[in-house]
Amino acid sequence: MSEALESISDGLLRSVQLWCDLAETPEYQQATMVMAYASMRTEVDTAGLFARLRQDGKTLLLPRIEPERIVAVKDADGWTTGGYGIKEPLGPSIDPQLIDLVIVPGLAFTLDGKRLGRGRGYYDAFLLEVRAPTIGVCFSEQILEDLPMEPHDTKLDRVMVA
């Protein structure tokens, strides 16, 4: 999967289109507090999503990894680089029950909502705390016919493909 992601040359263009498609979904339109992620180089680029959320008057929340778990933090108090080299927001965490929509990254997905993450299980545990709809986002190269599911894995409500 890493090789496939490295070969994508039009990722930014495809990312922008995906965020336009997301904005048309009822999940996005009804949400006021949206949790997304700070994209890494080979992920669907979130800069366009962040701009869209600001334009639409929605509150952006981002994940921060604390010992063995993810917490949601408002994108307001600055940034730091987390233990895995990922940009993370500073500031207090918020109650996951307040989140209206969660946009989830991953390494691979199935169209029916199965997701392969990066092996730590942080998102799976976090999503159990959330009542909000969950949408996985990826490039078409990341779609597989099937993925194994373990008891701790959380299936997503929807997967959108760039």
Say how many domains are in the chain. 1
Global confidence as pTM: 0.94
pLDDT band at 7 (very low <50, low <70, confident <90, very high): confident
Q: In which domain, by residue range, is 55 found?
A: 1-76
Instruction: Quote the Cα angle for 134-93-80, to 5°.
Output: 100
Asked whether residue 83 is domain-assigned, the answer is no
Are 16 and 154 a contacting pair, CB within 8 Å? no
Asked whether residue 119 is domain-assigned, the answer is no
Asked whether residue 70 is domain-assigned, the answer is yes
Q: Mean pLDDT in the chain?
A: 93
Asked whether residue 61 is domain-assigned, the answer is yes
Asked whether residue 72 is domain-assigned, the answer is yes
CATH number, domain containing residue 30: 3.40.50.10420
Asked whether residue 162 is domain-assigned, the answer is no
Percentage of residues in the chain with pLDDT exceeding 70? 99
Asked whether residue 138 is domain-assigned, the answer is no
> What are the C-alpha distances in Å from 18 to residues 45, 46, 159, 160?
10, 10, 11, 7
Burial status of residue 137 (CB atoms within 10 A of its CB: 0-12, 13-18, 19 or more): buried
User: How far is Cα 139 from Cα 107, in angstroms, rounded to an integer?
Assistant: 10
| pLDDT tops 80 at residue 13 | yes
Asked whether residue 40 is domain-assigned, the answer is yes
Mean pLDDT value of segment 12-32? 98
Are 79 and 89 a contacting pair, CB within 8 Å? yes
Percentage of residues in the chain with pLDDT exceeding 90? 76
Each residue's pLDDT tens digit, 108-124: 999 999 999 987 889 99
pLDDT band at 29 (very low <50, low <70, confident <90, very high): very high
